[in-house]
Structure 1
Amino acid sequence: MSPETMSSWQGSWQFWALLSAVFAALTAIFAKVGVENINPDLATFIRTVIVLASFAIILFGTGQFRTPGPISGRTWLFLVLSGLATGASWLCYFRALKLGPATLVAPIDKLSVVLVALFAFVFLGERPSASGWLGIGLIAAGAVLLALKK
């Protein structure tokens, strides 16, 4: 792959979404092992501290940790809501991993893909194509099939 192609690929949302999926998968595996002998809420707290420290290092190391300028109230509101939703998601995810196998917890967690599509349709006015809806339906069906007890 040429440097130009690689640079172009790294600037695409698909590249970062794929990396997100890889790291989310690793999160499930690492968390399942890490939560074995600890309270899941404490495990979530430890994970959160690690995430905060990692981002601080990245921001300081890249010179991005500076005053962003004025931030609107709407922006603050939705960032706070997003943070609260993230925290709730992480708490629930770690609790589910503590109680169940990662191979069953992860597919149900990935129903978030289906919910994002539905919420984006209702609240953001996004309109997936027919093939997009088919894919969303297949994700839902796959998650349900994977999560069914054998």
Structure 2
Amino acid sequence: MWIFYALLSAFFAALTAIFAKIGVANINSNLATGIRTIVILLMVWCIILTKGEAKNIQAIPKQTLLFLVISGLATGFSWLFYFKALQAGNVSQVAAIDKLSVAFVIVISVFLLNEPLTLKTALGAGLIILGSVVLAIK
């Protein structure tokens, strides 16, 4: 089932890039990111409240909350820089460079999460890097 969700994530990420490129054409990229963030915030909290998933929010461990906050900050920076890049560059090139995040995740997960770096994983990361570079070159 995770593959299905991952494919949906990739599809909606593609739509995000296309619609964001159109959306940042005539406004400041930070303002565009702020508007997008409000929409996401409202959408996700509507889902949480509708499904009754907020009832145990006070029971979240402090360490969990800390890492979710840090993750949120990283997401915020990612979105700010992504929208700035979209405003200045071609969406296909920006999206290609953005996919280097997969290679970054692989490297960082080896050091921070002690995940194994297999030959298959390293080869996949290398191909992602190569593909990103090929797509990004004009």
Q: TM-score range by the shorter chain?
A: over 0.9
Alignment equivalent of 1:70, drawn from 52, 59, 63: 59
Correspondence for 2:137? 148
- Structure 2: gaps spanning 5 or more residues: none
| Match among 90, 99, 106 for residue 110 of structure 1 | 99
| Cα shift at 1:56 | 1.4
How far 1:96 sits from its partner (Å)? Answer: 0.3
Partner of residue 130, structure 1: 119
Q: Structure 2-normalised TM-score?
A: 0.95
Q: Deviations over 1:16-61 (max 9, x none)?
A: 1111111111100000001100100000000000000001111122
TM-score (norm 1): 0.88
Matched, 1:29 2:18: yes
Pair 1:59-2:58 in alignment: no
Whichever of the two has the greater Rg, that structure is 1
Structure 1 unaligned spans of 5+? 1-11
Residue 69 of structure 1 and its aligned partner are, at CA, apart by 4.6
Alignment-derived partner of residue 75 in structure 2: 86
Question: What amino acid is the match of 2:64?
Answer: T
Structure 1 residue 67 displacement after superposition: 2.6
Aligned-residue sequence identity (percent) comes to: 52
Residue 68 of structure 1: CA displacement? 3.2
Measured in 2, the distance between the counterparts of 1:138 and 1:56 equals 37
1:39 partnered with 2:39 = no
Give the match's secondary structure for 2:64: helix
Partner Cα separation in structure 2 for residue 29 and residue 102 of structure 1: 7
Distance 2:54 2:61 in 1: 19
- 2:57 and 2:30 map into 1 onto residues whose CA distance is 32
Q: Secondary structure at the match of 1:94?
A: helix
- Give the Å deviation of 1:15: 1.3
Look up the match of 1:49.
38
Give the number of equivalent residue pairs.
138
CA 1:116–1:103: 2 relative to 1, 3 Å: same
Q: Give the Å deviation of 1:71.
A: 2.0
The corresponding residue for 1:6 is none
